[in-house]
Structure 1
Amino acid sequence: MSEPTDTPCPVPASITAAWIGLMRAQRIVLAAIEADLKAAGLPPLGWYDVLLELARAPEGRLRPFEIEKRTLLTQYNLSRLIDRLEGKGLVQKELSGEDGRGRWVVITQDGRAMQARMWTVYSRALSDHVGRKLDASSADALAGLLAKLTD
């Protein structure tokens, strides 16, 4: 059995530069999109992500663990967000008919309307903060490269 060494695994400078660029770009673009939503008097992007997944789901409903898997939200943050969405009338919770213990999160008509309002601003923000900087060919190439990281 070999003993661990204190020597770190060498990482090529190009990999480090790619990682730093990815993190900076994500932070800058996300902050700009969040600012655009806020300026329009709309809630944060996390609300859109949950509403979109519910709108896409059969019968407009998912279990909380399904929403968690489809978004980047942690269970704790998602629970609080669902409570806020419910408080605004954008979703409602329903008991599961299967066992009575589980819950469904169901999008309401107001939730669908909010998701559509948010998309109007969000899509414009994507065009402004990404589309103006990348032509279609560059965007396709970037999407292909990023897909390699998620496989």
Structure 2
Amino acid sequence: MGHPRWLSEEESRAWHAFLAAGALLNRRLDQQLKDEVGLSHLQYEILVRLSAEPGHEMRMTELADSLFNTKSGLTYQITQLEKAGLVQRRACTWDVRGVKAVLTDAGQEMLKRAAPGHVATVRELLIDVLTPEQLIALADGLGEASRRMCDGNASGPR
């Protein structure tokens, strides 16, 4: 297997900054959404994904993939959103095994209520803290890492 390529001081600094910022940002976004509208960050993202689709619906497997979540984790969240009347499940007309999640009118209203506070918090904690150059570097670097992981080529050059 060879010897590991240990992280340099600068690489380690970047890795730890990424871990801390990601965890803190998710925690703060989760808290803001729970305090203001009673949703978790993941539940908010489910509503966002559904609202962007034609007919405000998606197959559960596609929704889980778009959120980088497990099917069982998504099923739990959809159940919670369904109990709140924000989404409903519907059988897929073209696949008897398929189930779609559908955004309800109440779900659309919830998203309209939640979005302004969410965007303000994202701006406060991340967007407005970085320079335009840092935002571009962040989007480019994390976009490339995400693309490689989704393509199954995460190891990259050695």
CA distance in 2, matches of 1:33, 1:21: 18
Q: Unmatched 5+ residue regions in structure 1?
A: none
Larger Rg: 1
1:74 CA drift (Å): 1.6
TM-score (norm 1): 0.87
* Secondary structure in structure 2 of the residue aligned to 1:40: helix
Structure 2 vs 1, CA of residues 138 and 8 (structure 1 numbering), >3 Å: closer, same or farther? closer
When the two chains are superposed, the root-mean-square deviation of aligned CA atoms in Å is 1.7
* Secondary structure in structure 1 of the residue aligned to 2:69: coil
CA distance in 2, matches of 1:147, 1:67: 19
- Among 58, 67, 72, the alignment partner of 2:54 is 58
Q: Unmatched 5+ residue regions in structure 2?
A: 148-158
Q: How does 1:1-151 map to 2 (within 5 A)?
A: 4=1, 7-151=3-147
1:46 CA drift (Å): 0.6
Which is bigger in relative contact order (C-alpha 8 A, separation at least 6)?
A: 1
CA distance in 2, matches of 1:11, 1:129: 27
CA distance in 2, matches of 1:24, 1:143: 17
